Amino acid sequence: MKKLQILGTGCPKCQQLTENTKAAAEALGLDYEIEKVTNLADITKFGVMMTPALAVDGQVKSSGKLLDVEAIKPLIQG
């Protein structure tokens, strides 16, 4: 099971990244869980300075930009 983490304080871009990530995982047929990391101390532990960010199984794949569904697919597949 893939652990997909959305790092951000809950702003509209963070919410959209969550929706786009869910759509990408569904399109790929992945077995996944989504966790929202909203605590700033927890976000900085990932080394992320700009949100929204996407982490897959604890590894940051993107930060500081809102990715669309097609851009997320290759990041969560591997």
Active site residue 60: no
How many CA atoms are closer than 13 Å to the CA of 7, on its beta-carbon side? 25
Q: Which of 7, 14, 66, 72 is catalytic?
A: 14
14 catalytic? Reply is: yes
The active-site residue out of 3, 9, 10, 11 is 11
Q: Is 24 exposed, middle or buried (0-12, 13-18, 19+ CB in 10 A)?
A: buried
Catalytic positions are 11, 14
